[in-house]
Structure 1
Amino acid sequence: MKTHQLDTARARPLRSGFAAKTAAVAALAALSFGTLTATQASIATADDASNAQTGCSYGTDGPNADTLCWIDMSGLNTDEAKSAAGQPMSISLPGGYEMSFVAHLTAGSDQGPRDVVATSLPTYGGAVLGNAFYKNTAGKPALWIPQAQPGEDWNGWVSTITLDNVKVANQAGATNSTYSLVVADAESTDGSGGGGNAEGLRFFSDSSLNQLATAQPAGYSQTCAGGLSGVGTNEVTCLGLPGDKSTSAGAQVLKAKAPSKIGASMKVNANSREAIAFAVQFSTVQVTKDLPKRYDANDNFTVSSSTTDTELGEATTAGSATNATTGRSTLVSDADGDRVTFTEKAASPSVDWSHYQNSWSCTRNGKVIPSSDLTYADDGRSVAAHVGVGDFVDCTVTNTALLGGVSWQKTDADGAALNGSQWSLTASDGSVINVADNGQNDGNPAAGALSVSDLPWGQYTLKETQAPVGYDMTDESKTVTIDAQHLNETFGSITNSRKAGLLSWSKVDGDTSAALGGSEWTLKGPDGTTAPIVDNGQNDRNPADGELQIGGLAWGDYSLVETKAPAGYLLASDPIPVKVDAEHTNIDLKGIANTQALPGLHIEKSSDPASGAKVDPGQVISYAVDVTNTGNTPLTPATISDDLSDVLDNTSYVEGSAQATIAGTAADAPTVDTENRVLSWQGTLQPGESAKLTYQVKVNADANDADRIVNVVTGDGVVPPGTPSVVPNCVPATASETAECTTNHVPSVPAPPAPTPDEPVVPVQPDSPDNSSATPPSNNKLARTGFADGPVELALIAGLLAVTAGAGLTLVKRRRKQS
């Protein structure tokens, strides 16, 4: 562990006169009254440390670190220190003090003297000083026995370092005795080297030595494991434990009050190494001003620390800075300590003390000083604390600006919070603060709850500039006054009423978007009540044709239904949902289109056997009438009339055969009136819907091919009011000539021959001069009338009679039909 070869420190002789004072001032400036400015020494090794002397410096961490200024021994000259006179030395201390002493390096009780080297902390990786405690100490405070040279054999007590004739003087040269000197183990006193021996340190002083601290951080072995004795006397011995192989033992830190002599002997084992370090312990004080917020932007303050006759430190806030500190000021006090006063005062004329509340907090060596141990001035602007030798007293005064604040709530009529309002807050001087809920200048993150802070004293008036969405803005204004007794005021709850809903829409042609007047509507509200709206009539606020508007709607869900379409147009059949709420108070449904009404009815008559076929007596003819609503309006109803006049003359209706279906579902059957010889049907058909009518007739037994079985179907339909009339394809004027509207069958049986006359008809012969005297034939047959044979003549006569009879029968039937 003890393996580092160190550089020999440069000697610094005792300085006197102007040169000594100049050096002291320079060292004081470098320390800035105890604030470290030197470069941090290496943690791993001291070999690369600077030889420049710094007086003394403070480390970080460890017991009383804020009050221990470790003496830089880089000016030690071992050759001079070994002389009988020793080496006179002086160092500059914080606060403008100068310390002087004579350094002696002498032999130990066993050998020596073995040289020492001034070294920075830590001396090596297992030492407490510089690694765990008192880190970042500048300069070379450790006096370390160097690595043994080849052939050397060092064992036992080998070196003694003594600081003799120690004096501390102020800048005027007056000697001061209210300080403490500290001596500490700067290496690791353990059982290094093995065998039955161990390392050791023997501290001595002409003032009793007491423990300042046992520096034993976590991970380090026991301090003085071989024994610790003499604490509280002029000699304290710390021994390592023989055989202990630990290389990281804790360290003893001892102090003596204002000694004139102090030092230590070092014991090594088998060329091991030891080190000590010296520190001077003064009292230090610090005062800090904390100004988190100013009442006036120009307000600034000064803080200071002082004894009865000495100003120790002063600092002033500047600009917008929120704090200022004096830093540590060194105090050399009486042996029993001194009383230090910490004060604040105004540093700018704008300061009004009534606008601030101040509070003091002080610590002594990192622990809070109870308020009962502090003395407060009547105005609270100063506090006094006892500072003992070695104390670090740190006081902070905090000034809290007594600025005011206002708050209020935005609610609806039921007390529910409303978000999104905006406001103006006008001060008595006319300045305006704009406030937006959860936005500009609002200090309350809750919705509907607003607050403004940091308000100077005065009168403030609040007025709403924008209401929450869906609510009417209030014209109410409220005023409060902020002063010392009323710093936090409230405007209370400010209520907004719901904005009534306004519903607008237009009625347009579905193809051209042209406005359509004359529609009528019903609006059903959330409570179930309905309101009629008539274009340019009841409840319509918009006077333009085809533009409708209704207002005063409470919040909730509505349903808008068209009850009457513009003339010639279909109804908008689907209800339109409407929601009125905070986000929807002005609702425009835009154009609601209507389709022009185009009614249509198509009829088609068919039969089995098909129209034009011959039928036999007794055969059944099945008829079907297909009726389709080809338009876009309902037919209520569609009506069908099938003329059976030329059917039932030669057929008979099959009872019960008349049936009807609509869209494949059974419907009311057609009515067959055999007396008036007509089949009638009516039924409602929606657009695109079809009905099928069927019935049967049976051909009479006496029907023959002289008969005709003909029927003609016609139809019509009732359309909604204002809708054009339906024009079916089968109308009375043209149905008989339209193939889709009629059927025709002819019986297959021939008509019977004409009846034979009672006497033959003899044609009258025309007079002929050539034949007037002719003699009748001898066979007495009728004379021929241009035919070759008698039977042929008879056949012609019979045919003529048959045609005449058929024509007469037909005439009778026509007359009967017409009747």
Structure 2
Amino acid sequence: ELRKSVQSRASASDQFTVSIQQGSVAVASATTQGTQTSVTAGPIIARRGTTYRLTEAMASGSANQLSAYSTTFSCVDTANGNDPIVATTTGTDFNVNVPTGRRTHIVCTFVNSAGQVSWTKTDATTGQPLANTTWRINAPGGTVLSVTDNVGASGYTGLDQDPAPGRFRVAVGLGAHSLVEVSAPAGYVVDATPRPFTISAKARTVDLGTIANPRVLGTVTWSKVSPTGGLLAGSTWRLTPTSPAGAPFDITDNTGQPGYSGRDTDPVAGQFAVRDLAWGTYSLVEIAAPVGYVINSTPNQVVIDATHTSIVLGAFTNQLSPGVKLPLTGGEGASGYWIAGMLLVAVAVGAAVTHRRYRHPHRP
């Protein structure tokens, strides 16, 4: 009885044929199909003292040659306490002689195993395994293997033999390969760096180690407006990390002024964009309003995570300070200064004229 055991395939199309020959005649054979990992040729009725030839070969249509696999062979007599007929060895073609003088049941086995590459995908910030990445292995001869993460889900039919999320073990053939990440989970940056590796007869197992995905940093945007909806320049804000806790930082309005070095990356007065924020929860609050307006001290929560990396808070309104009127035209931040200044000038001129008339009354 000749058995075939396939531990791993270098390609899904690889199939194996095992056969028992007596002289030049094949008396039994079997070929794996599909995802089968075992088949048996025989059993046959064997003559004592007769030599049989046991072989294996790649079936027609296979992507790889038998040299892409490591092969072991062994034979035991199961009718006599698994007495070894052929000790475990390597090779693909053996002659086995049936012992005389006793009843025997000889079971021989070819075990095939492809090369293997493994790696681990992690979150660059926490170092924890990161699930649901997809990969491409460029194999010899232009063959491309698509690899999806086996997370232990029922019915998985991909190439990853490790059911732990973020950990990969893939069977490959001999030769030079390269591993490339195709997609990362939401909120992570794809690492598209090709990682070459070679599977050889002497080095059939390769561990590429840990490959980390950096997180996509967050951006939060908002605007400051008057009761009529016009943009207001000159407000200042404080953004405080609350979970995890961190040091707060202040954000002054970037109005396009030369030499601005604050955190607001939007140069339009009254519009704010703060970038490169780590994942977490923040509190945003206005700490200084434009001149002539009442500060809006309501805190606003900002949460940045894998699925929320671009936060748009919208417009925040400042009410006019008591006694201040809206200008009819012009920008609402700078115009307020201009109108107030003109009023002061007019009052000053009027006072000067009155004072002059008082000191030098008109003489007829």
TM-score, structure 2 as length reference: 0.66
Map residues 164-203 of structure 1 onto 2, 5 A cutoff.
none
Q: Which residue identity does 1:289 align to in structure 2?
A: R
42, 45, 63: which one aligns with 1:326: 42
Structure 1 residues 323 and 421: alpha-carbon distance in aligned structure 2, compared to 1, 3 A threshold: closer
Q: What is the CA distance between 1:448 and its match in structure 2?
A: 2.9
CA contact (8 A) 1:342 1:395 kept: no
Are 2:180 and 1:473 aligned?
Answer: no
**Distance in structure 1 (CA, Å) of the matches to 2:254 and 2:88:** 86
Q: What is the CA distance between 1:377 and its match in structure 2?
A: 9.9
Q: 2:231 — aligned with what?
A: 516
Structure 1 residues 397 and 597: alpha-carbon distance in aligned structure 2, compared to 1, 3 A threshold: same
**Distance in structure 1 (CA, Å) of the matches to 2:304 and 2:276:** 11
**Distance in structure 2 (CA, Å) of the matches to 1:339 and 1:520:** 98
State the SS of the aligned residue for 1:317: strand
Are 2:169 and 1:444 aligned?
Answer: no
Structure 1 residues 448 and 571: alpha-carbon distance in aligned structure 2, compared to 1, 3 A threshold: same
Q: 2:134 — aligned with what?
A: 422
Instruction: After superposition, give the CA deviation of every residue in 1:297-326 in whole Å (9 maximum; x if it has no partner).
Output: 4654343265xx998x82122462742432
* Corresponding residue pairs, total: 299
Q: 1:737 — aligned with what?
A: none
Are 2:51 and 1:341 aligned?
Answer: yes
Structure 1 residues 381 and 544: alpha-carbon distance in aligned structure 2, compared to 1, 3 A threshold: same
CA contact (8 A) 1:301 1:344 kept: no
State the SS of the aligned residue for 1:443: coil
Q: 1:410 — aligned with what?
A: 121
Q: 1:384 — aligned with what?
A: 97
**Distance in structure 2 (CA, Å) of the matches to 1:585 and 1:459:** 38
Map residues 349-748 of structure 1 onto 2, 5 A cutoff.
352=66, 355-365=69-79, 367-371=80-84, 381-386=94-99, 388=101, 391=103, 393-400=105-112, 402-411=113-122, 412=124, 415-438=127-150, 440-453=158-171, 455-507=172-224, 514=229, 516-518=231-233, 519-525=235-241, 526-534=245-253, 536=255, 538-544=262-268, 546-565=270-289, 570-589=294-313, 591-594=314-317, 596-597=319-320
CA contact (8 A) 1:502 1:552 kept: yes
TM-score, structure 1 as length reference: 0.32
**Distance in structure 2 (CA, Å) of the matches to 1:299 and 1:422:** 26
Instruction: After superposition, give the CA deviation of every residue in 1:724-751 in whole Å (9 maximum; x if it has no partner).
Output: xxxxxxxxxxxxxxxxxxxxxxxxxxxx
State the SS of the aligned residue for 2:239: strand
Are 2:1 and 1:303 aligned?
Answer: no
CA contact (8 A) 2:237 2:252 kept: yes
CA contact (8 A) 1:358 1:399 kept: yes
Instruction: After superposition, give the CA deviation of every residue in 1:87-121 in whole Å (9 maximum; x if it has no partner).
Output: xxxxxxxxxxxxxxxxxxxxxxxxxxxxxxxxxxx
Map residues 160-239 of structure 1 onto 2, 5 A cutoff.
none
CA contact (8 A) 2:68 2:174 kept: no
Q: Which residue identity does 1:442 align to in structure 2?
A: D
Q: What is the CA distance between 1:480 and its match in structure 2?
A: 0.9
State the SS of the aligned residue for 1:493: strand
Q: Which residue identity does 2:119 align to in structure 1?
A: W
Q: 1:757 — aligned with what?
A: none
Structure 1 residues 596 and 533: alpha-carbon distance in aligned structure 2, compared to 1, 3 A threshold: same
**Distance in structure 1 (CA, Å) of the matches to 2:88 and 2:210:** 44
Q: 1:617 — aligned with what?
A: none
Instruction: After superposition, give the CA deviation of every residue in 1:778-803 in whole Å (9 maximum; x if it has no partner).
Output: xxxxxxxxxxxxxxxxxxxxxxxxxx
CA contact (8 A) 2:177 2:196 kept: yes
Q: Which residue identity does 1:423 align to in structure 2?
A: W
**Distance in structure 1 (CA, Å) of the matches to 2:209 and 2:87:** 43
Map residues 22-101 of structure 1 onto 2, 5 A cutoff.
none
Q: What is the CA distance between 1:467 and its match in structure 2?
A: 3.7
Structure 1 residues 435 and 507: alpha-carbon distance in aligned structure 2, compared to 1, 3 A threshold: farther
CA contact (8 A) 1:503 1:586 kept: yes
Instruction: After superposition, give the CA deviation of every residue in 1:369-396 in whole Å (9 maximum; x if it has no partner).
Output: 311x55899956233332546x351423
**Distance in structure 2 (CA, Å) of the matches to 1:466 and 1:377:** 42
Structure 2: state its 5+ residue gaps. 152-157, 257-261, 324-335, 338-364
Structure 1 residues 310 and 587: alpha-carbon distance in aligned structure 2, compared to 1, 3 A threshold: closer
Q: What is the CA distance between 1:522 and its match in structure 2?
A: 1.9
Q: What is the CA distance between 1:523 and its match in structure 2?
A: 1.8
**Distance in structure 2 (CA, Å) of the matches to 1:523 and 1:408:** 39
CA contact (8 A) 2:74 2:89 kept: no
Are 2:31 and 1:314 aligned?
Answer: no
**Distance in structure 2 (CA, Å) of the matches to 1:288 and 1:394:** 9
Structure 1 residues 581 and 570: alpha-carbon distance in aligned structure 2, compared to 1, 3 A threshold: same
State the SS of the aligned residue for 1:329: coil
Q: Which residue identity does 2:81 align to in structure 1?
A: V
Q: Which residue identity does 1:358 align to in structure 2?
A: T
Q: What is the CA distance between 1:549 and its match in structure 2?
A: 0.6
Q: What is the CA distance between 1:404 and its match in structure 2?
A: 0.9
Structure 1 residues 574 and 378: alpha-carbon distance in aligned structure 2, compared to 1, 3 A threshold: closer
Q: What is the CA distance between 1:356 and its match in structure 2?
A: 4.4
**Distance in structure 1 (CA, Å) of the matches to 2:121 and 2:58:** 41
State the SS of the aligned residue for 2:116: strand
Larger radius of gyration between Structure 1 and Structure 2:
1
**Distance in structure 1 (CA, Å) of the matches to 2:188 and 2:98:** 62
**Distance in structure 1 (CA, Å) of the matches to 2:214 and 2:59:** 50
CA contact (8 A) 1:376 1:382 kept: no
Are 2:3 and 1:289 aligned?
Answer: yes
State the SS of the aligned residue for 1:429: helix
**Distance in structure 2 (CA, Å) of the matches to 1:298 and 1:397:** 18
Q: Which residue identity does 1:429 align to in structure 2?
A: G
Q: What is the CA distance between 1:435 and its match in structure 2?
A: 2.7
